[in-house]
Amino acid sequence: MATPDDGGYMMVRLVILAELVAIAAAFAMPESLQGWVLILLALATAALILAIFLSPSSLGLAKLIRPGLVVVLAAPALWMALQSVPMPIGKLGNPIWATASATLNEPLAEKITVDTTATMFSLVQYCAVLAAALTAAVIALDRHGAARLLHILLSIATIVAALWFGREITGVAGPDGSTVAVLGVLLSCATAIRAVDQILRRSRPGTIALGPLPALSVATIALIVCMAALLIRGNSTALVSALLGSEILISVFAVRRWFPGLWGTAGVLATATIVFIATASVIPFRTNTDLTIVLSTSSQAATERMLQDVAPAGSGAGASTVLLPIYQDAGVGDTPERPTAAATIVIDMGWAFLCAVVVAALLCASVLIRRALSRAYDYVFPALGAGALVAVTILAFSDHGILGLGASLLVAALFGLAFGQSLSDAGRDAISSKSKATSEQIADQAPAPRRTLTPTLVAIWPRVSLMVLGIVLIVEAAWMALPERYLGARSSLPAVLSTAAAGPSAMSKTTSLAAARKDLLIRGGSTFNRDSALAAGEQRTAPPMTSDEFARALRSSPLRGDIWLLLAATSKHSSPQPNTAAMLRMSYYTAPNDLDLLPLRVSVALAADIMVREPDLRELIKRDVSLVVRHRPALKPALVTAYRSASADGKIYFEGLISELDPTFLDQVHAQSSQRGSR
């Protein structure tokens, strides 16, 4: 790597700082558009710095990042991109596109994904994760840079676990931090083992090496904090995964320090395997359920229903969050279900993709263990990566944590650290020596043009990969930032729905729902939730909405039940269209359990006689009214408003429903309607 005598040392510090900024921003601003842009720019800067400024001798990463590995790492991104492009054969795409095409009365290309925007956000996150891993791997080629990165990752994990621990004590709701706490346990164990190993190697009989003692003290404190966070949550699966990952670290340490040789290694590994199996048997397994949720302790009813309908190619990256409201029961909006990471991968990418990921994780863990046992020094880093792979694989079947933005970047940096230090010094210098030997051979022999370019191409390959990745991240940051800067106005969807329910005059005053790229900031997909991304206080004056603007959002996200409803409401208030009933039906099918949509949906459904006369819509209206009367009595005034604006047949049907569900409420409806009419 770089030495203190050249500019590369400063470049390394800048890259570590960029990595720190990206991971910290991911935890501090996980649902902020500004946070995403900052993360992408920080990682892009790190990748470009490494690609441009480091000397060729620093890029021993060519030994690690080979063309085959780059293809493997790029495969998930290519699959996400393929899910977002039109399919050449119609039956390969999701049926929702054909249904949306018939409802909008315009041709829509069929795609695998059910939400193009959700898939694009997932692609952005994967590119960020890949950049974090590769830049960490380059930094870790130098043992001093690897040590700094280890301490930084330990600090981040400990701080996040401490904050989560504080929230758990005070009872404040917040995201689950068990994944970060598990990683904190592994990082603290690795730091402690590295410090103990340095003490044992440096100290003489009767003396104590004081240099590594501060690191050992900090690692002990971090271990206590992270273990306390896991114990107070009572998540046995997370605790066992932390213990299993730590066991791998301790086993490698025992082999390297006290049981070298074939027989010693075999004995330690046999003992570790027995302890591993005994510890794993403590994990509580669910029976009679899907394999991807066997370790989950929370309700996964909606997830099971989604898994039963998943296609072999998946529903598109990020689609699980879009599909979840359709499959979950009504009235659970305050405590939404979180599918496990394994279930999410199956729903989004398909079963084959999950199997490939699990197999790759186990193979990488075995490779890292083998490299850790073959190294004389710094074996802690590859052992840490192996332990983290085992722990993360278990956690994937337990909760959703590893797919979070902050946790995924932390995991990526940890794996980059592990693989960057998994090569011995000789291995890292192999490229330089090979290039030199090849040059001398060429000088002694006849000219061979095809062979003279080989060392150059091998050395340039990592630079090109990092540069391309950095440019991609900058483009993605611009894609996310431009709507915020130039497309301006944002509005709260609940506010739009409430004004839309009031009638055409209120609809004309709503802010532009689709202003910030229509389908980017308003969606409730895998990255931003509707309330956080669209704060109601950020409304600005904008032109009134049109049907074309709503339809434009549906062309990328046809499962947006709220947009289907607003499109139906717009057509109702302007000039009723023949497919208004079809739009309303799509709203029912794509958002059946969204209670926030009930007032406007009932109002639109009762406004036209033609919709009330259709048998299927009558049943759907009855379901909505029943949900309000039985589960959301606070929304009853909205039913009174819907009754006032209903058509003649709509009022008759509504009165029949209320008389069956709550006759006393029917008297209130008549009384309030009479009072309103007399004013």
Of 626, 591, 596, the C-alpha closest to 327 is 591
Domain ranges of the chain: 8-425+459-464, 493-678
Ramachandran region, residue 512 (left: φ > 0; alpha: ψ -120 to 50; beta: rest): beta
Inter-residue contact 30 to 460 (CB < 8 Å): no
Give the number of other Cβ atoms within 10 Å of residue 274's Cβ. Answer: 10
Percent of the chain having pLDDT more than 90? 18
Identify the pLDDT of residue 487.
40
3-state secondary structure 645-668: CCCHHHHHHHHHHHHHHCHHHHHH
Residues 6+ apart with CB under 8 A from 404: 30, 175, 179
Q: Flag whether pLDDT at 7 surpasses 90.
A: no
Q: Flag whether pLDDT at 331 surpasses 70.
A: no
- ∠ CA 635-641-642, rounded to 5°: 90
Q: How far apart are CA 589 and CA 454, in angstroms?
A: 58
Identify the pLDDT of residue 427.
43
For tokens 């003489």, what's the residue?
204
Mean pLDDT of 447-456: 47
Residues 6+ apart with CB under 8 A from 218: 151, 154, 191
Q: How far apart are CA 654 and CA 646, in angstroms?
A: 9
Reduced to 3 states (helix: H, G, I; strand: E, B; else coil), residue 539 is strand
Q: Which residue has the higher pLDDT, 519 or 309?
A: 309
pTM equals 0.83
Q: How far apart are CA 569 and CA 554, in angstroms?
A: 15
pLDDT band at 173 (very low <50, low <70, confident <90, very high): low
Inter-residue contact 63 to 423 (CB < 8 Å): yes
- The full length of the chain comes to 679
Q: What is the pLDDT of residues 611-652, one digit of tens each?
A: 778 888 888 888 888 888 877 778 888 888 888 888 888 888
Q: Flag whether pLDDT at 542 surpasses 90.
A: no
Mean pLDDT of 553-575: 78
